[in-house]
Amino acid sequence: MKATWNAQVIAESDDIVTVEGNAYFPLDSVRPEFLRESSTHSFCPWKGQASYYTLSVDGRDNKDAAWFYPDPKQAAAEIRGRVAFWKGVTVS
């Protein structure tokens, strides 16, 4: 699978975990030059606290377009070390 935004491949991997319809890519399959840490956090009762990245590609930013669970709850352990995308990022 590939995640693309602003005409660039952000991530690509055959090792995908799908949870609630979202494809979680291994962090090492994501191009780090496109990720900028964000101070945004959210909480899911069964997955835990999510952190976000802003995508920065060719001078354009997509705020909080990627998220991950740095320390997921046991029920979501399979997404540890993985990143998912939204906000206009195409996953195919």
pLDDT in 10s for each residue of the chain, 92 residues: 999 999 999 999 999 999 999 999 999 999 999 999 999 999 999 999 999 999 999 999 999 999 999 999 999 999 999 999 999 999 99
Burial of 6 (0-12, 13-18, 19+ CB in 10 A): middle
What confidence score (pLDDT) does residue 52 get? 98
What confidence score (pLDDT) does residue 79 get? 98
Q: Which pair of structure tokens corresponds to residue 85?
A: 């995308």
With left for phi above 0 and alpha for psi between -120 and 50, is residue 27 left, alpha or beta? alpha
Domains belonging to the chain, first-starting first, are 2-91 (2.170.150.40)
* Contacts for 68-73: CB closer than 8 Å, 24+ residues apart: 68/27, 69/44, 72/47, 72/48, 73/46, 73/47, 73/48
